Amino acid sequence: MADGKRKTFKRKSEPEDGARDSTDELRNYLSSKFASMRDDMHKEITSRDVLLRKLEESVTRLSEDIAPVKDYVTAEMEEEDDDASSQSSDSPEGGAPQDGDQETEEERNNRAQNRYVDVMMSLTEIRMNNEEKTQKVRGFYEKIYKASPFTSLMLKFLERNGGVKVLIDCDSNNISNLVGRLVNLDGAKHNGTAYLTFADIFECKVYSGGKAGVISVNERGQYVDERFDPEVSLAQSLAQIVMYLIFKNRGCPYACGDEMYEKLYEKIVLETSQKKDSVTMDGCVYHALSMKSSLAREVSLISVVPGMLVKYGSKEGMSKLLEQMPFLTFFFMQHVIPKMRN
């Protein structure tokens, strides 16, 4: 911050007379920062040069302000996880227990989870299926659901909106047995062997290999072998479908004609791309930014948020996201999540 001081927040365990609930305070704080950033751009939307300068100034201010709230965002994630589990288990949709039944919290949470996993399984076709493969794929969806309230929300969104089809080959780490040649968002044609997973956005189909493996990632000019898990790449592909269903804009996380959010997101992608040359980031980020076209980078990068939450879990994943890509994470929380909920 300009005066060199760091803002502090009180946790719920440290109540103060007359103070607001710390979760509400955090939400209001983050919302006001995002709203301020958005309003500044709205006033200058007619001038691209002025807009980009405003974005630069806003990003700098947000960079100074975001550091002291990282722990509190993580805490909010955990609290939202508890709230989401409670709400989904208490809702009539989850199947209320019969009178006289005593259901534990774990049983309620499991019932809510099973509902959405069952729906995803009904939308999934497994190549040369058997009981072992069915349980393996079910485990993928369970891990996605449990990773964070944000990733569970993706599955809930897909249940309500439908139309997606998932094809999985548990015998391979690529999709060559599921589909032949594909054209990616860069316009490049490849065989299925080139893809761990692929989201055919316009057909609302996801192709995914079901075996873990190792891929080579270009990190700051050096290729590094990195393990990948199929549920991570599956979560990213599902996220791309969700973006398409919400915004109807080729998988970009903003609506067609929404110049304000388009310019904001372009700036965030640019800032992240520049930062990757000086800061070590997750392999998911490097892969997304390795795409050649701006469209492919935009579509791929937003899916890194749920991907990293599944990869590392809610607390560690959010911590890494805020360390490596605070603005992208902020954009996802303040713009994408509300749209998904609505």
**Which range among 137-141, 231-235, 316-320 shows the weakest confidence by mean pLDDT?**
316-320
Per-residue model confidence (pLDDT) at position 240 = 97
Domain locations in the chain as residue ranges: 22-94+103-341
CA distances from 190 to 175, 195, 293 (A): 11, 8, 16
- What CA–CA distance (Å, rounded) separates 258 from 331? 14
Cα Rg of the chain, angstroms: 21
- CA atoms of 261 and 239, how far apart (whole Å): 18
Give residue 277's pLDDT band: very low, low, confident or very high (50, 70, 90).
Answer: confident
**Structure tokens, 247:** 């915004």
Q: Which amino acid is at 53?
A: R
20 or 342: which carries more pLDDT confidence?
Answer: 342
Q: Is the pLDDT of residue 39 over 70?
A: no
Model pLDDT, residue 6: 39
Mean pLDDT estimate for the chain: 80
pLDDT tens figures, 167-200: 999 999 999 999 988 999 999 999 999 899 999 9
